[in-house]
């Protein structure tokens, strides 16, 4: 059996479909098996979103942070596509051109998510005057020991 999330070998973690009564075979989907508690938890979060979304008629929701990061990609996408030429249809892109567009979008998305993380960090102890973000930043060498 494969883990439903990561496709590694499943190791005894499962999930019951709480929408159905005990003894109903639909309560125990055979494919909902996992390799670890981490993958089981990830599935539980997805299942909760999916179940709640069905009630409200919404699909899985994208957070405002992710939505903002997607919007931040528009400029990078435009720049990469402009470099290739806006007249060229997407279907005519070479592999290298398509990869250049994907790289521009993925890079900008990652940067936007990191920027949000950096901006939303707060010190773990209240009242610290100068919280340390990277304790090894003042080392001359990147191999301190
Ligand atoms: Zn897994």
Q: CB within 5 A of ion ligand 1: which residues? A: 3, 5-6, 35, 39
Same domain, 14 and 44: yes
The answer on pLDDT for 57 being more than 60 is no
Residue 126 inside a domain? The answer is: no
Read off the DSSP letter of residue 56: H
Helix (H) or strand (E) holding 34: strand 33-34
Residue range 21-36, pLDDT digits in tens: 998 999 999 999 999 9
Percent residues over pLDDT 70 in the chain: 84
pLDDT at position 142: 65
Same domain, residue pair 20 and 54: yes
Would you say residue 134 has pLDDT above 50? yes
Number of separate domains in the chain = 2
Residue 124 lies in a domain: no
- Residue-range definition of the domain harbouring residue 72: 64-119
Q: Which residue has the tokens 């990652």?
A: 110
Asked if residue 137 is part of any domain, the answer here is no
User: Considering 42, 61, 80, which residue would you say is the last residue of a domain?
Assistant: 61
Is residue 130 in some structural domain? no
Residues 55 and 73 in one domain: no
User: Residue 60 has what pLDDT?
Assistant: 47
Taking phi first (over 0 means left), then psi (-120 to 50 degrees means alpha), and beta for anything else, what does residue 12 get?
left
pTM tops 0.75: no
> What contacts 122, CB < 8 A, 6 or more positions away?
131
Q: Is residue 135 part of a domain?
A: no
Rounded distance from Cα 49 to ligand 1 centre (Å): 19
Whether residue 10 is found in the same domain as residue 56 = yes
In a domain, 42, yes or no: yes
pLDDT in tens, 105-126: 999 998 888 887 777 666 666 7
Residue 143 lies in a domain: no
**How many whole angstroms from 44 Cα to the centroid of ligand 1?**
13
Distance (Å) from CA 93 to ligand 1 centroid: 35
Do 70 and 56 sit in the same domain of this protein?
A: no
Distance CA 111, CA 113 (A): 5
């Amino acid at each position: 059996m494969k883990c439903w999330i990561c496709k590694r070998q499943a190791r005894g973690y499962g999930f019951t479909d709480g929408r159905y009564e005990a003894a109903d075979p639909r309560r125990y989907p055979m494919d909902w098996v996992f390799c670890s508690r981490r993958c089981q938890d990830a599935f539980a979060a997805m299942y909760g979103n999916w179940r709640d979304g069905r009630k409200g008629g919404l699909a899985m929701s994208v957070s405002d942070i992710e939505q903002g990061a997607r919007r931040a990609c528009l400029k990078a996408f435009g720049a990469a596509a402009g470099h290739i030429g806006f007249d060229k249809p997407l279907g005519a892109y070479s592999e290298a051109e398509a990869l250049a567009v994907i790289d521009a979008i993925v890079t900008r998305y990652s940067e936007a998510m990191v920027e949000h993380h950096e901006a939303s960090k707060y010190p773990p102890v209240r009242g610290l005057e100068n919280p340390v973000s990277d304790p090894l930043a003042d080392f001359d060498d990147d191999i301190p020991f």
